[in-house]
Amino acid sequence: MTDLDAIPDDPSALRAALLAMRAELAAERALRRGLEDRNERLQHFIRQLQRMQFGRRSEALDPDQLNLALEDLEQAVAEADAEAEKADPPRREARARERRQNRGTLPGHLPRIEVVIEPPTTICPCCSGAMHIIGEDRSERLDVIPMRWQVIVTRRPKYGCRACGSAVVQAPAPPRLIEGGLPTERLVAHVLVAKYADHAPLYRQAQMLARQGIALDRSTLASWVGTAAAELKPLWRLLRDDLLGSAKLFVDETPAPVLDPGRGRTKTSWFWAIARDDRPWGGADPPAVVFTYAPGRGHAHAATLLKDFRGILQTDAYAAYKAVAGAAGDEAAAGSADGGVLLAHCWAHCRRRFYEVAQKRPAPIAHEALRRIAALYEIEAEIRGRPACERRAVRQARTKPLLDAMRPWLEQCRAQLSKKSPLGEAIGYPLNQWEGLTLFLDDGRIEIDSNVIERSMRPIALNRKNALFAGHDLGAENWAVLASLIETCKWHAVNPEAWLADVLARLVSGWPNRRLAELTPWAWKAEQDALHRAAA
């Protein structure tokens, strides 16, 4: 109950007290809402797990499949916990204490590497005398280097003064990705690369660790992955925004099965990929690929992903991208300063249709179409790597006459065939997309096909094959974030494990957001190359 005697008489003081009380109530309500949302989210996860384990036979899962689902759910929980801990330092410290109490011990046969962190000075602040060690805090974290496991022992000696006995100094503990946990940032990077680059699900990684005498549960690995994803997501957003500001992008989508336990099967969601690769014409922008998870393939998802993009979009003939280009064109026509979206289509998709016809039956027309398309690719092979202006000049002189002759030939062939026959449909494809297929003639920056984005999505397909499906929507989002960063590392010949280890260590040490661009794979590689040159 409020003490009436404590209520100030001065109106200004009373107003200040009321404002302070209002702020406290607002903070409490916000905290309560956050806790209620988190509880509702966790209860949803529990209901899903109960259906998966105890539901009807059609909903029950094989134990290994259940492990795959659990790891994505646990990653989602860890991501939520990591975000909450970053916003609440006392809660972060409390969770660190819990981890220290419950993490167990590391196997004694592993080698120990001791790291001693000394305070800046051991001179007594009271009497300026020399201080001596009176104790230390000792912690162990599991670390990994290729093909060898070791334990990093961090010692922080405490120094006290013999003369006065009142002063104690000790170096502060360094920040960690998993406060109070076992892994170093390098070990977490190893787990991420094994899962998303080498396509080893976490339960298999736990089995590999067990063979080394290291008992780590799959759920523990999943928690590490979720925490790392939360830490790396701002960098993923930076990459995405950087790509959407480009003048030209590749875009495509690929299925991403996600478990839907309420129906006893998976639902088909999608990874939407955008990529930039200007190396074939010597562009200055660094190549990169970004995956975005969406629960569907409808036009709305394409519009959401590309709503801020204006420029050349190279892709297949999927109608969703035509809708994006149409919407952007309407804005441009209405006076928008951003311009529109031009669609450049893919000759590889066109060629594939004729190839499938030629493989199944004798088809002279299909073989002739393949021969004509091959002539286009021969010219492209010659000019790859040249400046955009040179590529355009060669295309105008040599490629344009070939295409000018190809279109009437295709129209003549289609007039002799049923439009619904396989060959008729193959011929109809380039005729219906002719404007997009010939856009590369007038712009040397445009490629003849979108194979760049097709190749970038192969690791997604491999991971999908090994993991069967994602266990939850949030787990699929983590998959998209981490796959984007790892694949971009590969494009720059950067070891993703070394990059992740260093970047995670910098981020947890308080790396400023305004300098996130320095952590992109291409900026990081430039920094490492400069250090190597300086050391040489």
Where are the chain's structural domains?
Answer: 107-179, 247-459
Tokens of 355: 């190839």
Task: Determine contact, residues 296/270, Cβ cutoff 8 Å.
Answer: yes
Residues 523-529 have a mean pLDDT of 95
Identify the top-confidence range among 52-56, 305-309, 336-340, 432-436. Answer: 432-436
Task: Determine contact, residues 463/479, Cβ cutoff 8 Å.
Answer: yes
Task: Determine contact, residues 175/510, Cβ cutoff 8 Å.
Answer: yes
Rounded to an integer, what distance in angstroms lies between the CA atom of residue 461 and that of residue 196? 11
Residue whose tokens read 């856009």: 439
| 161 phi/psi in degrees, rounded to 5 | -95, 125
Question: Exposed, middle or buried, 121 (CB in 10 Å: 0-12/13-18/19+)?
Answer: exposed
Query: What is the longest distance spanned by two Cα atoms in the chain?
Result: 105
The pTM of this model reads: 0.75
Spatial CA neighbour of 309 closest among 231, 372, 241 = 241
Residues 359-374 have a mean pLDDT of 90
Residues 187-200 have a mean pLDDT of 91
**Amino acid type, 482:** L
pLDDT in tens, 425-449: 999 999 999 999 999 999 999 999 9
Tokens of 201: 């699900």
Rounded to an integer, what distance in angstroms lies between the CA atom of residue 338 and that of residue 104? 57
Tokens of 76: 């989602």
The arrangement of strands across the sheet holding 248-260 comes to 288-294, 265-276, 248-260, 311-314, 341-344
| 354 phi/psi in degrees, rounded to 5 | -70, -35
HSE-CB for 453 with a 13 A CA cutoff: 27
Residue-level pLDDT at 350: 93
Q: With 80 as the cut, is the pLDDT of residue 90 above it?
A: no
HSE-CB for 416 with a 13 A CA cutoff: 8
Contacts of 249 by beta carbon, 8 Å cutoff, 6+ apart = 243, 274, 275, 276, 309, 311, 312, 313, 314
Tokens of 375: 């002539």
Identify the top-confidence range among 171-185, 188-202, 347-361, 395-409. Answer: 395-409
pLDDT in tens, 470-504: 546 677 788 889 999 999 999 999 999 999 999 99
Rounded to an integer, what distance in angstroms lies between the CA atom of residue 128 and that of residue 112? 35
Contacts of 349 by beta carbon, 8 Å cutoff, 6+ apart = 316, 317, 429, 449, 450
**Residue 499 CA to chain centroid, in angstroms?**
14
Task: Determine contact, residues 281/444, Cβ cutoff 8 Å.
Answer: yes
